[in-house]
Amino acid sequence: MERFVDAAPGIRLWTEERGDPDASPLLLIMGAQAPGLGWPEEFVDLLATRHRVIRYDHRDTGRSTWSFEERPYPVTALAQDAVAVLDGLGVERAHIVGMSLGGMLAQLLVADRPERLLSATLIGTCALSSTPYTRPDGTRTPPGALPGIDPRVLELWSRPVPEEGLTAELDRRVEHWRVLNGDQLPFDEDAVRARERVIVEHTGHHRPGTAHRRADPSGMDRTERLARADVPTLSISGPAEPVFPPPHAHHIAQVIRGARVVEVPGLGHALPRQVHAPLAAAILDHTAGDALATLL
């Protein structure tokens, strides 16, 4: 079921729900400039076997309001939008799953709105904390010294994003996902191109979005609040992750009280078919345990 919710004056967000409406809600929060359809259908269906799954388009993506040029906003506003989605759909508390920037937004909710969460799962992201990372040998490393973004990704992100024709834009997106996929799993170019065509049709145009990379990222450190968080949190480690390599997932588990790490074999910074089943299984195991703890 699709519907729009009002997130702020002049801002409407597209949402979609699937699964049993009486099941525990699970909100999917995508990464920068990625609409809700960035969550693959097969993966959403796997989660919907046990949850009322909600995905939505961030503002300036998909069918949601594109407003940044007229009314710039900070990154933190995107976390407030996630709460607005829950409010608009009448959801008091939900499990949340955030990927990339979505994982950062999820941490903001863990820190600032824990009363709205049943659990959190973080994928392909970094900790919103200045706490040093303690390596297995006991040495402590500042977050800024953790492995950085793969140079191939940085080179792609440094390129200008011109508004060209549909074919050129699809080529750009496919190249982007090829690099984000990592080096451990085959890259299915045909599947990615088909998905991006669906996203273009859903959006109504193929213009590239850049609002989220230009939004003000200040005010996101949550060191103290994450250290005393009480939201059950799962940090997913991807061994092929080119944006936030594996130490970042373990750093998150050290930063957020009680968080644990699960590795998904082959996972990079994308969601190819091969990771759907193991990733969904890890999330469903996490949410099932947290639901039982809530009942007890």
pLDDT for position 290: 52
Q: The domain spanning residue 219 has which CATH number?
A: 3.40.50.1820
What the block records as the tokens of 166 is 């549909």
Q: What is the pLDDT of residues 66-100, one digit of tens each?
A: 999 999 999 999 999 999 999 999 999 999 999 99
The overall longest dimension of the chain from CA atoms, in Å, is 56
Q: How confident is the model over 229-269, as pLDDT tens digits?
A: 999 999 999 999 999 999 999 999 999 999 999 999 999 99
CB 127 within 8 A of CB 137: no
pLDDT for residue 26 is more than 90: yes
Instruction: State pTM to two decimals.
Output: 0.95
Domain housing 22: 2-295
- CB-based contacts of 100: which residues, under 8 Å, 6+ apart? 30, 31, 32, 34, 123, 124, 125, 243, 269
Quick one: what percent of the chain has pLDDT higher than 70?
98
Domain count, the chain: 1
- Specify the length of the chain in residues: 296
